[in-house]
Structure 1
Amino acid sequence: MNNSSLKASVIISIYQDVEALNAILYALEQQTEKAFEVIIAEDGQSESVHDYLNNHSFSFLIHHISQEDRGFRKTKAVNKAVAAACNDYLMFLDGDCLPHSRYVEEHLRQRELGRVCVGRRVHLGPSLSKWMRSKPLLLKLLENRLAYLLLSLPLFIDHTKNYEIGFRSRFLHKRQTKKYLNIVGCNWSVAKVDMLKINGYNESLPGVGGEDDDLGWRFNGKNIHEKSVKFIVPVYHLHHIERRADVSTNLRIIEENKTKQLYYCENGVDQYLK
C-alpha cells in the first residue's frame, strides 16, 4: 500500500514490552479499515523490539522510531512519530492497550477538523491480561456482546474496571456526548494540522503524568475542542503496575504555562519537521 492511499497514521507509544506490542499489532491486523500506517514510537532502544519487528511481516506499513533510553521521554518519542507521519490524520494508542477491530474505522468516521476525538478504555484484570498477552485472538470474545455479557462475573472477579466501556453502543454514546471527556493517551485522534497548531506534546514536562491533560488545555486555547467517542471506540488496557514519578513537577509547570497562556509549546514537534 502506498502513502497516497493511506487514511490514517496510528502511533503506538511503547517501552520494551514486546509481548504487548505483538498483541496490539495482532489487533490492528483485524481492523475493518485497512488503509493506515503504523508508527512505533519507542521510548528506548530495545534489541527485543528491534528483533521482533525485523522478524515479522504485517499487512500494513510499519515504521519504527526509537531513541536512547534516558528515563521517561514518551513526549519526545511521540513527537518524532507525529513529524514522521505520512497521513494528515493521527490516531494514538499506548503500548498496553489493544484496539477494538473498528478502532480505525470509527475514529475516521468521527473525525472533524478542529476537534479531538477522545475515547476510553476497559481496564482488564491481571488474569485476563495474562491470557490476552499470549492469545490476543481472545479479543474476539470481548468484542462479542453476548460473550462479553456472559463474562461479566469472571471479569468482575478478576478486578476488571470500566467494564461498561466494552459495550459498543450508539445509544449509550449519544446519551453522554455533551459531557466533557479529557484526553487519555491510550485512545484519541486528531488532524495533524491541529496537532501542529499547539506544537504537539510539551517535552519540557520532566515527569510521568499530566502530559495528556496539558494537550487538552492547549488545544482548547486554540479553539480545538474534545469530541467524545466513548462507547463506540473502546480499547482494552492490559494490567500492569502503575509507573508514575514527578507528576507534581509536571502539574506545577502546566499551571505556570496556563497563567502565561502558552498554548504553543516551545519544545515540541517543530524541531523534528523537515
Structure 2
Amino acid sequence: MKNTSLKASVIISIYKDVEALNAILFALNRQSETNFEVVIAEDCQSEEVLSYLKQQRFSFPIQHLSQEDIGFRKTKAVNRAIAAAKSDYLMFLDGDCLPHSHYVEEHLLQREQNRVCTGRRVHLGPAVSSWLRKKPQLLKLLENRLMYTLLGIPLLFDHTKNYEIGFRSGLLHKRQHAKYLTIVGCNWSVARADMLKINGYNEDLPGVGGEDDDLGWRFNGKGIHEKSVKFVIPVYHLHHLERRADVNINLRIIKENTAKKQYYCINGIDKYLD
C-alpha cells in the first residue's frame, strides 16, 4: 500500500555488512529532510542483520526484505524492495556508501519529470573508512567544506579517489551540468512510475557489473534521460575489495537486448506487484 505522505523511499542494497549498515542508517538519521522511509534489500538472510535491526530505533520507518543466499542476486533484492516501497519517489544507496546529510532533500529538489538523477561518490581510503565504520559521526567532518579542505592531503595519502566529488558546489555543478552522467547504483533516484515503465532491474543478468548501465539505455529508450547531480549530492564510499564476476555474460546479454530494443525487461519487477 502506497503512503502519499512519504516523500521518498531510500532503498539500500546490502550483503551481511552490519557495521557499514549501521553507519549508513546513522547518516540517514541526521538528514535535513526527515519524511522518508528506508527499504533494506538484503541479498541473503543474515541473522546478524536481523538481530541488529531488532535492537535499533530510528526516526524513519524501515522495511527489511531478505532472500536466500544462493549467489549474487542484487537485481532481485532491489526489485523486491521497489515493489514494497510506499513512496512514489525512489532513491538508491549501496550498502557501502554513506549519504551526505542533505542527500534526501537534494534528490527531491533535483527531481524532474522523465529524468533520472545521477550522482557520484568519493572513494575513501582504508584508514578513513575504518574510522567511519567505528564512528560514523565523524562524517560531519567530511561534510564541512573547511575541514574537508584541511583533510585533503591526509585523505589523498590514504588513497582516497574522486576527492573533488566531496565538495558541494553549485558553481562546479553548473560547469558540468550538461555532461552525460551514467547511473551508478550507489547514488541515484527516479520516480517509481518511471522505474515500472522499464520493469526495473533485469534479473536475467547473473554477474556483478553492468546492471546499472542496462537501466540507463532502457530508460533512454522510454524517453527518460539522466540528469547529473554531481557536486550537489555526494556520497562517501567505504573502502573494500572489489568483486566483479561474470561481467562479460552481463555485457553480452545487454548487447543482445539493445539490438532488440527490449526496453521493458522480461524478468523484472512485475511478478512482485500486487
TM class by shorter chain equals: over 0.9
CA deviations on 1:132-186 (whole Å, 9 max, x unpaired) are 0000000000000000000000001000000000000001000001110000000
Deviation, 1:113, is: 1.7
Paired residue type of 1:190: V
Cross-structure match for 1:136: 136
Is the aligned partner of 1:13 residue 2:13? yes
SS in 1 for 2:38: strand
Deviation, 1:3, is: 3.3
List runs of 5+ in structure 1 lacking aligned partners. none
CA deviations on 1:70-102 (whole Å, 9 max, x unpaired) are 100000000000000000000000000000000
Distance 1:261 1:4, change over 3 A: closer
CA distance in 1, matches of 2:3, 2:112: 21
Cross-structure match for 2:69: 69
Paired residue type of 2:8: A
TM-score by length of 2: 0.99
Cross-structure match for 2:119: 119
Cross-structure match for 2:87: 87
Cross-structure match for 1:40: 40
CA distance in 1, matches of 2:241, 2:4: 40
CA distance in 1, matches of 2:257, 2:170: 38
Cross-structure match for 1:271: 271
CA distance in 2, matches of 1:95, 1:79: 16
Task: Let me know the Cα RMSD of the aligned residues.
Answer: 0.8
CA distance in 2, matches of 1:147, 1:7: 31
Paired residue type of 1:262: Q
Deviation, 1:18, is: 0.1
Are 2:4 and 2:88, in contact at CA under 8 Å, matched by a contact in 1? no
CA distance in 1, matches of 2:57, 2:34: 15
CA distance in 2, matches of 1:112, 1:4: 18
Cross-structure match for 1:109: 109
Is the aligned partner of 1:157 residue 2:153? no
Cross-structure match for 1:192: 192
Deviation, 1:5, is: 2.1
CA deviations on 1:229-272 (whole Å, 9 max, x unpaired) are 00000000000000110000000000000000000000000000
Are 1:92 and 1:185, in contact at CA under 8 Å, matched by a contact in 2? yes
Paired residue type of 1:172: L
Paired residue type of 1:233: I
CA distance in 2, matches of 1:113, 1:4: 18
SS in 1 for 2:45: coil
List runs of 5+ in structure 2 lacking aligned partners. none
Cross-structure match for 1:168: 168
Are 1:113 and 1:194, in contact at CA under 8 Å, matched by a contact in 2? no
Paired residue type of 1:85: A
Paired residue type of 2:77: A
Cross-structure match for 2:253: 253
TM-score by length of 1: 0.99
CA distance in 2, matches of 1:255, 1:116: 22
CA distance in 2, matches of 1:58, 1:142: 23
1:226-245 equivalence runs, <5 A: 226-245=226-245
SS in 2 for 1:258: helix
Are 2:27 and 2:100, in contact at CA under 8 Å, matched by a contact in 1? yes
Paired residue type of 2:7: K
List 4+ stretches of structure 1 deviating above 4 A: none
CA distance in 2, matches of 1:173, 1:122: 15
SS in 1 for 2:220: helix
Percent identity between the aligned chains?
Answer: 76
SS in 2 for 1:3: coil
CA distance in 2, matches of 1:144, 1:60: 25
Q: How many residues were matched structurally? A: 273
